[in-house]
Structure 1
């Protein structure tokens, strides 16, 4: 089976490296009215707080749409210059920065990471030795999805980039190195520090110098910056009881550890310049020499096969799926697709390129709107790859609703390795008393996440994290199993607390797991292994 997967990847590489026709075909003629209708429909169906969409055809911005407010109820309208978090679309920018350094002879893709970061360590020594710069970008580490993300999110927290890198040696892999795809963010942090080490400047300085400035992406921010100096800035939103609630930034946006994985904010105009750069043939634009043809090809080479979903087969007639350097690569209706999405704290983004059609588009949304992004990205893609189908937002939204309603047994989830919901998750909850928790109260430590406490409070007991203050909340009892309700987070972020006495060193143990097994994998509680270090200060 593995040989067939890699054969498919090899065929995909040939497909992507074949000469592309960057001239839009008649099939790719811009359907402006349909774009407007699709944006209107998705805004109405999902009641989005704000959205910005732009389309590039034949190297030019041919259409754009903006709707809504930067913050619900503020009266400030979203514009083409409004800054949105692009989240994981930052990864392609980090990869491009490294590609520029390869062009400059500062590093090679197959350099060992330890050549540039001598203190770098993975859980297994042989992986530390063998990990190359290219491996940092393609999600083949063997770690589980989102491993170590609790050092990056929720924000703000007290972790540093050094903490993230130091924590990697404690993250036990789930699979063998280079054996399979599993999405991670932490190794992109390492990639950013490799760039800083060889470039002689911090990551944010290099990204501005090597990417934003030469490409004219003036409406992008990275590192530390001030809201009052940035113009229009969209606030992320979460939905509570049917209402969008804006999460306002402070005046100063900090240089967060996760910058190289998802820390960029950009305007629609700047993201469209980014799109134009990647769609341009060599010599077509003033920026075409910004990256060599060899490195453009390296970035879009399928380096790691990804699972091809039934939805991709049904919706897009896709035959392969793979990860390049910061981009996802696939085929849709017989044409190449290069794309990525971004999801971060109440903001969603998508960048989609159809290079053989000379077409691309950008979607920026300032709300929790994963399905809205999915259906709009699909509608816009199909307008160019299969315009005769005339499939609408409603068509794809209803298809997703049917998919959610389809029965899926616990046995099927178990056979696929997916976690199964504990029936106690839906049981009535009661505040756990200090007496119930008496054997387990105290201070605990995990080697990469740091210190937490489970100690008495006025109403019972609370879980408090020293390094990630938003991971705090009251402890409940649900039919005999303890859980913590993280008050500052989404409801699906709650975590089971499982205690044990049988650790090798005789100390009490604490492990955690998602109450909702389908919660975002960045809540990687399953990678935590706490040992009790002492009594509560009040005991």
Structure 2
């Protein structure tokens, strides 16, 4: 195992704040009752600290270890960027290559964007599409969309802004980036990622593409909250090669992710054969501020930040005057964070196998402060960091709820009742969207159900809340609920169906607002 030496886990005081890190992990685990968590810290090229808590599956008794596989979700993006950077180093592509040079069939909604889109643009969230555009072809898992269908769907996604005019996070263009790498490298994305990233860095536990669970060692199950309990989400014996691999499909152990951190902090010594893993030019390119990002009030208040930008698969900012390179990952009951402080030659990894967004935010912030500002007068005592930031975050959440638009809020909290099929005369039927495909709104079980043809978990009863209709999906949490708005485009024309988030703060990957359903036939 990578950090098997006693120095990695010893509790002795060598001038490094290991007790503060342990206390922060303990506090976050207890406060948010996490099912399992793995945390590791690299300082000066060495793994200095590892903290492991909880179980791979709640109630199973199988403890989280440094060799337990977690979904790293969008921390995959930096791996995809690294693969492309290795190809640039090798001369098989260039950052300013037009995408159509490698993928002639690639299309965006506007022809001029298709022509001008460069490889670099695929990585920096400047497409002009809305946040999470097309994500319903990726999540919730599992679904029946293919990688080719996801890429073809881009031609039907209408931009909200002009190309390269502003930042808006997307996943679908990272899938295109993976296919560019495959075309340039002459092999599938998963094969190239293993060959160019995992193998040189010794990240042998990482999995991408199709793989078997029984040959992978311990695997952390994703968990969702059901009341006061964590409910594990069962997975099959074979994990499929899903379309979103290049955007968020990698799983790694803590051991692997600490190797990943070391590789970025010191590429000169990262390669297993003694060769430099990535050129200085390409690391600099990945860590260049290519696209400005909004600087939030939280960043100003918590970190005294002055800038925020996106590189190639990394978010760039400053914390108390210290440069920070970081990213997070969120996917189906798992959360991750990778944070690097290059000027301090320090980095840390957080892996959680539960829906734990607040826990990740608070713990990542606390660990950052331990290295950049604490202990000292500029921030609270190290042993109270988690409580301090949890309190600030809770106040922020309360203020956001109070500020929600009243009309939607009233309808969303109205008593809900099953919609009557008779009241939807002329609206029941089969509907089709050009990128998402077909869905039905049909009578079933004495009421009405919405069901997607290719995304089976997007199915549930249609309910009436006040004067509005919504769908309450069977296997998703309340944050996924969607308003249904029926209309008729033209007199005598077919009915249309628009959708929107009931919770305006819900994850942007529920990109219902990009759907434009048109009725194409009667119910089966």
> Structure 2 length as normaliser, TM-score?
0.94
Deviation at 1:29, TM superposition (A): 4.9
Please show how residues 95-244 of structure 1 align to structure 2 within 5 Å: 95-244=81-230
Aligned to 1:80: 66
Paired residues of 1:421 and 1:517 also in contact (CA < 8 A):
no
1:382 & 1:33 partners in 2: Cα distance? Answer: 14
Q: 1:41 aligns with which of 27, 48, 61?
A: 27
Paired residues of 1:29 and 1:384 also in contact (CA < 8 A):
no
Unaligned runs of 5+ in 2: 1-13
1:455 & 1:305 partners in 2: Cα distance? Answer: 45
Paired residues of 2:267 and 2:277 also in contact (CA < 8 A):
no
Aligned to 2:391: 398
Query: Are positions 1:378 and 2:365 aligned together?
Result: yes
Paired residues of 2:69 and 2:219 also in contact (CA < 8 A):
yes
2:459 & 2:401 partners in 1: Cα distance? Answer: 33
Q: How many residues align?
A: 504
2:498 aligned counterpart, secondary structure: strand
> Structure 1 length as normaliser, TM-score?
0.91
1:448 aligned counterpart, secondary structure: coil
Please show how residues 307-322 of structure 1 align to structure 2 within 5 Å: 307-322=294-309
Deviation at 1:409, TM superposition (A): 6.8
Paired residues of 2:35 and 2:223 also in contact (CA < 8 A):
yes
1:275 aligned counterpart, secondary structure: helix
2:491 & 2:124 partners in 1: Cα distance? Answer: 36
Query: Are positions 1:509 and 2:496 aligned together?
Result: yes
1:421 & 1:509 partners in 2: Cα distance? Answer: 21
Unaligned runs of 5+ in 1: 1-27
Aligned to 2:6: none
Paired residues of 1:329 and 1:339 also in contact (CA < 8 A):
yes
Superposed CA deviations along residues 411-465 of structure 1, whole A, max 9, x for unmatched, are xx78xxxx98342111111111110122211001000000001111122111111
Aligned to 1:460: 447
Paired residues of 1:30 and 1:57 also in contact (CA < 8 A):
no
1:406 aligned counterpart, secondary structure: helix
1:315 & 1:45 partners in 2: Cα distance? Answer: 20
Superposed CA deviations along residues 197-230 of structure 1, whole A, max 9, x for unmatched, are 1111110010001000010001100000011000
Aligned to 2:355: 368
**Mean Cα deviation higher: 174-183 or 380-389:** 380-389
Deviation at 1:406, TM superposition (A): 2.8
Aligned to 1:21: none
Paired residues of 1:41 and 1:393 also in contact (CA < 8 A):
yes
Q: Residues 63 and 373 (structure 1 numbering): CA distance in 2 closer, same or farther, change over 3 Å? A: same
Aligned to 2:477: 490
Q: Residues 317 and 298 (structure 1 numbering): CA distance in 2 closer, same or farther, change over 3 Å? A: same
1:212 & 1:409 partners in 2: Cα distance? Answer: 46
2:164 & 2:316 partners in 1: Cα distance? Answer: 18
Query: Are positions 1:448 and 2:435 aligned together?
Result: yes
1:511 aligned counterpart, secondary structure: strand
2:341 & 2:289 partners in 1: Cα distance? Answer: 16
1:524 & 1:95 partners in 2: Cα distance? Answer: 25
1:207 & 1:381 partners in 2: Cα distance? Answer: 29
Paired residues of 2:200 and 2:271 also in contact (CA < 8 A):
no
1:427 & 1:33 partners in 2: Cα distance? Answer: 48
2:127 & 2:517 partners in 1: Cα distance? Answer: 24
1:256 aligned counterpart, secondary structure: coil
Query: Are positions 1:325 and 2:325 aligned together?
Result: no
1:368 aligned counterpart, secondary structure: coil
